């Protein structure tokens, strides 16, 4: 109960909101949230904004799309299809493209926005992984993030299957094949999904319900949880002078970050509008109506499903075999195993790392990727594993473009499938360790100035310049997890699991480069003050 009543318009409005919904609590909690400023922290925002744009443009599309598979003859303006028998869904998509004012632009914006949404999700996720932002207390938010990626893929797939053109039908046929390849239940499941034999007349309406209701509702719910977690956990920050585990250095949401974020939304909107106005995406009028017999050359899914398609392209056919007359179609359903494996690994990684390091503490300061070489190397191995399958989905186009044999492309992808991640792991780990050693060298002996001096007795030396304190902080003040040997549990026994953990821990940290200690730093400064030339000679050799 305030004793003074507000007199200004804004004051009255604020009082109105405060006395009814307690707005000051919201403003205090959310408005004062601090966002550190770094370009890589804005990638998640890009995903959020493109999602908003996709929702807006998608709503427009629902006004004109007919989710039905009744047959009719096309009588619209696109000459190469006039008189051809097509479905209502395809007809309405053609009408959106050619007859609804602005329809093609909005359709392209919806599709480009969806591609950007999943792309932004992906690089946001890579940023979180490589900087260790998934560590306690943010493991659950990492899981929400992985679920967002899965739902993003589901939203995309259910969406691009809707137009009922040749390309979308080919995509559905692959899903039908995967479903049918599941042991025992496959055929029943396929008939259940398609309402009878593929393709049936139900699937577009069913996908439509999923695409405009269930999947977006789940996405919105997950995004809500994700953002609440971001507020609850506070933002992470990069190591730097003044950044600690107990503070967040940055700008408050109100007014700075909100203004900047609002502007950023319009920049993303503008960029997507520009792309949609200039570049065709999914020209459904080219593909013609779906018919189970034709398949076009260069039939691929949208990029985020590409890795699964690529796996199907390189998996050898002999993986299908019979046991007592029952077919085991590992040549198809192994795609499900691989996808499950990739997402499963993503789900458990935060818990795995915390178990391995015996580290249950909270982490708010991010790792520089080089300072955790094994994690970074695992991440790169994962990227290579993914990208190889992804590239395999476009093997035919690569073959034509570079005048290669399609068969050779498949052999190459098969080899890289197994060797690529291992080689990537080894190279990345060595690179990280090399960078860490360079950091040590610079921290202890300063920056090379390329300034050569000659001493009176004829010796040549390069002058090294001490780093400014804030740069030195970045190179020296970081946490460096180390090997933890097997420890007995409460009963005094070392379990087999604990021994395994110790072995893994050794694998993770056997070639760890220790960060510069205070003593080392002081010793090096001492050397520099007294016998500068000597130190350099020693280090140089």
Partner 1 sequence: MKLLADRRRHPMALVVLLLVGLLMTGGAYALFTQTSSAKADTASASDVDEGKKLFAANCATCHGLSGEGSKAGPGLIGVGAAAVDFQVGTGRMPLQSNGPQARVKEPQFDEEQTAQLAAYVASLGPGPAVPEDENLDASKGDPAAGGSLFRTNCAMCHNVVGAGGALTRGKYAPNLADVSEKHLYEAMQTGPQNMPIFNDANLTPDDKRDVIAYVKEVSDTPSPGGFKLGSLGPVAEGLFIWFFGLSAVIGLTVWLSSRAK
Q: Give least dist CB 116 to partner 1, A.
A: 5
Q: Which residue has the tokens 């360790």?
A: 433
The CA distance from 424 to 20, in Å, is 58
CB–CB of 232/467 below 8 Å?
no
* Nearer to partner 1 (CB atom), residue 237 or residue 505: 237
CA distances from 115 to 44, 47, 299, 506, 508 (A): 14, 10, 17, 41, 36
Residues belonging to the chain: 541
- In the bound complex, what is the minimum distance in angstroms from residue 387's beta carbon to partner 1? 11
Q: Which of 57, 66, 93, 97 binds partner 1 (CB under 8 A)?
A: 97
Number of residues that bind partner 1 (CB under 8 A): 72
Structure token digits, residue 128: 């979180």
Binds partner 1 by CB under 8 A, chosen from 14, 23, 30, 40? 40
**Residue 368 Cβ vs partner 1, minimum distance, rounded to whole Å:** 17
Cα–Cα distance measured from residue 254 to residue 313, given in angstroms and rounded to the nearest whole number: 51
Rounded to 5°, angle at Cα 48 from 42 and 51 = 145
The one among 18, 99, 396, 527 contacting partner 1 by CB under 8 A: 396
Shortest distance (Å) from residue 502 CB to partner 1: 41
User: Own/partner pairs for 403-408, CB < 8 Å, 24+ apart?
Assistant: none
The residues pairing with 495 across neighbouring beta strands, listed in sequence order, are none
Dist CA 191 CA 182 (whole Å): 13
Residue 1 or 278: the one with the smaller Cβ distance to partner 1 is 278
| Cβ at position 243, least distance to partner 1 in Å | 15
Q: How far is the CB of 76 from partner 1 (least distance, A)?
A: 11
Beta strands in 53-132 (DSSP E): 71-73, 85-87
**Residue with smaller CB distance to partner 1, 84 or 319:** 84
Cα four-point dihedral sign 428, 356, 307, 371: negative
Residues 299-318 that bind partner 1 (CB under 8 A): 299-303, 306
Report the alpha-carbon distance of residue 453 to residue 105 in Å, rounded: 65
Residues 245-284 that bind partner 1 (CB under 8 A): 251, 256, 260, 263-264, 267-268, 271, 275, 277-283
Nearer to partner 1 by Cβ, of 222 and 409: the residue is 409
- Nearest distance, CB of residue 95 and partner 1, angstroms: 13
Q: Which CB sits closer to partner 1, 58 or 186?
A: 58
Q: Which of residues 468-527 bind partner 1 (CB under 8 A)?
A: none
Region of 342-350, 403-411, 448-456, 461-469 interacting with partner 1 (CB under 8 A)? 403-411
Which C-beta is closer to partner 1: that of 118 or that of 178? 118
The three-state secondary structure class of 134 is coil
Residue numbers 130-189 binding partner 1 by CB under 8 A: 166-167
Please state the closest distance from residue 408 (CB atom) to partner 1, in A: 8
- Which stretch, 9-17, 21-29, 144-152, 393-401, contacts partner 1 (CB under 8 A)? 393-401
Whose Cβ is closer to partner 1: residue 249's or residue 504's? 249
Beta strands in 3-65 (DSSP E): 34-35
Q: Which is nearer to partner 1, 61 or 443 (CB)?
A: 61
Q: How far apart, in whole angstroms, are the C-alpha atoms of residue 533 and residue 338?
A: 58
Distance, in Å, from the CA atom of 46 to the CA atom of 63, rounded to the nearest integer, reads: 26
Question: By CB under 8 A, is residue 34 in contact with partner 1?
Answer: no
**42 to 81: interface string for partner 1, x by CB under 8 A:** xx--x--------------------------------xxx
Binding span for partner 1 by CB under 8 A among 362-370, 390-398, 506-514, 522-530: 390-398
Please report how close the Cβ of residue 390 comes to partner 1 at its closest, in angstroms. 8
* Integer CA distances (angstroms), 162 to 13, 58, 166, 300, in order: 46, 12, 11, 16
Identify the residue among 54, 89, 104, 193 touching partner 1 (CB under 8 A). Answer: 104
Radius of gyration (Cα) for the chain, nearest Å?
29
- Could you tell me the maximum CA-CA distance found in the chain, to the nearest angstrom? 97
Q: Residue 517: in which H helix or E strand, if any?
A: none
Query: Does 296 sit near partner 1 (CB under 8 A)?
Result: yes
Kindly tell me which of 60 and 509 has the beta carbon lying closer to partner 1: 60
Q: Is 399 in the site for partner 1 (CB under 8 A)?
A: yes
The residues near 277 (Cβ < 8 Å, ≥ 6 apart) are 105, 108
> Of 26-34, 64-72, 114-122, 328-336, which segment contacts partner 1 by CB under 8 A?
114-122
Distance CA 389, CA 304 (A): 11
Give the whole-angstrom CA distance, residue 487 versus residue 501.
10
SS3 479: coil
Q: Which two tokens stand for residue 381?
A: 């191995």
Least Å from the CB of residue 264 to partner 1: 6
Per CB under 8 A, the list member of 6, 17, 30, 38 interacting with partner 1 is: 38
Fill in the per-residue mask, 218 to 247: x = in contact with partner 1 (CB under 8 A), - = not in contact.
------------------------------
With left for phi above 0 and alpha for psi between -120 and 50, is residue 306 left, alpha or beta? alpha
How many CB atoms are located within 10 Å of the residue 477 CB? 15
Q: Which residues, 405 to 424, sit near partner 1 by CB under 8 A?
A: 405-408
């Amino acid at each position: 109960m305030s004793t003074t009543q507000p007199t200004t318009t804004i004051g009255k409005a604020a009082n109105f909101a405060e006395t009814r919904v307690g707005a000051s609590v919201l403003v205090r909690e959310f408005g004062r949230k601090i966002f550190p400023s770094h370009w890589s922290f804005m990638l998640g925002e890009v995903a959020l904004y493109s999602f908003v744009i996709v929702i807006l443009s998608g709503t427009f599309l629902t006004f004109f799309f007919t989710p039905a598979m009744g047959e009719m003859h096309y009588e619209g303006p696109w000459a190469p299809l006039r008189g051809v028998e097509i479905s209502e869904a395809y007809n309405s998509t053609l009408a959106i493209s050619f007859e609804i004012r602005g329809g093609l632009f909005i359709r392209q914006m919806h599709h480009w926005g969806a591609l950007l949404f999943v792309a932004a999700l992906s690089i946001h996720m890579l940023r979180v992984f490589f900087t260790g932002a998934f560590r306690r207390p943010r493991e659950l938010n990492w899981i929400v993030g992985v679920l967002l990626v899965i739902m993003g893929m589901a939203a995309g797939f259910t969406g691009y299957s809707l137009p009922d053109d040749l390309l979308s039908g080919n995509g559905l046929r692959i899903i039908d094949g995967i479903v049918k390849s599941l042991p025992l239940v496959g055929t029943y499941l396929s008939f259940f999904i398609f309402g009878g034999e593929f393709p049936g007349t139900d699937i577009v309406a069913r996908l439509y319900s999923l695409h405009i209701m269930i999947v977006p509702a789940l996405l919105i719910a997950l995004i809500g949880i994700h953002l609440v977690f971001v507020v609850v956990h506070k933002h992470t920050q990069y190591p730097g002078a003044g950044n600690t585990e107990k503070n967040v250095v940055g700008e408050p949401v109100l007014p700075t970050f909100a203004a900047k974020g609002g502007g950023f939304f319009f920049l993303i909107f503008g960029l997507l509008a520009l792309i949609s106005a200039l570049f065709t995406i999914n020209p459904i009028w080219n593909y013609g109506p779906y018919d189970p017999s034709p398949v076009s050359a260069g039939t691929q899914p949208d990029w985020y499903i590409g890795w699964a398609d690529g796996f199907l392209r390189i998996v050898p056919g002999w993986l299908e075999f019979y046991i007592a007359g029952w077919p085991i179609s590992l040549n198809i359903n192994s795609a499900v195993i691989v996808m499950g494996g990739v997402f499963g690994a993503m789900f458990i990684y935060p818990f795995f790392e915390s178990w391995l390091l015996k580290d249950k503490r909270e982490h708010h300061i991010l790792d520089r990727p080089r300072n955790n070489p094994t994690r970074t190397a695992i991440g790169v191995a994962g990227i290579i594993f993914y990208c190889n399958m992804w590239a395999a989905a476009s093997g035919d186009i690569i073959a034509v473009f570079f005048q290669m044999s399609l068969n050779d492309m498949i052999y190459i992808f098969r080899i890289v499938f197994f060797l690529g991640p291992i080689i990537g792991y080894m190279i990345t780990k060595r690179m990280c360790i090399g960078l860490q050693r360079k950091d040590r060298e610079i921290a202890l002996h300063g920056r090379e100035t390329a300034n050569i001096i000659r001493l009176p007795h004829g010796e040549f030396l390069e002058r090294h310049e001490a780093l400014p304190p804030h740069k030195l902080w970045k190179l020296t003040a970081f946490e460096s997890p180390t090997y933890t040997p097997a420890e007995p549990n409460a009963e005094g026994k070392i379990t087999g699991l604990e021994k395994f953990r110790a072995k893994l821990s050794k694998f993770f940290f056997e070639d760890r480069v220790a960060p510069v200690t205070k003593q080392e730093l002081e010793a090096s400064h001492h050397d520099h003050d007294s016998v500068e030339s000597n130190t350099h000679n020693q280090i140089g050799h």
